[in-house]
Amino acid sequence: MTRVVRADVTTVLGTYTVAATERGVCYLSLDPARTERELAAWVERHEAGATVEEDRDALADVARQIVEWSEGKRTVFDVSLDLRGTAFQLSCWEELLRIPAGETRTYGELAERIGRAGSARAVGAANGANPVPVLVPCHRIVAQGGLGGFGGGLERKRQMLELEGALLPFGG
């Protein structure tokens, strides 16, 4: 039987839940209130019948890297990912991985980079479906005139961009 392991990761930005299959990290939640429902839906859709088990040891390396990132000690992650989505979503997520920490792109710029100029809204939807925020840095995509949306909330997006040096802290 297939197994999905999960663990909570406490960072200076909040508690995240990370989950992985044998292929890599498949899920990361920024909102503990939604974790159980969302992780169950991911498993049902992609690994029906799999068991979900708490296993902090199996996820110790990714947890350490997430904590290091949240403390400003890491800008690149060295973890295997198990990304599942449409071809369009996967192309968006692959392009997100090319955006360095400390930089942002607009939804329109991302659409152009994947060869789909004019599909900024579809890019926004793909970002919203990103199952591993932080590791696939959808927070680095902003609207033409401001932050845009973010599943983890705009305040958290602002904190993440400030942490990475892409935004100056308010009042500074």
* 92 catalytically annotated: no
Catalytic residue among 7, 30, 62, 138: 138
State the DSSP string of the chain: --EEEEEEEEETTEEEEEEEETTEEEEEES-HHHHHHHHHHHHHHHSTT-EEEE-TTTTHHHHHHHHHHHTTS-SS----B-----HHHHHHHHHHTTSPTT--EEHHHHHHHTT-TT-HHHHHHHHHT-SSTTTS-GGGEEBTTB----TT-HHHHHHHHHHTTSSPPTT-
Question: What is the spatial distance between Cα 19 and Cα 42, in angstroms, rounded to a whole number?
Answer: 10
- Residues involved in catalysis: 138
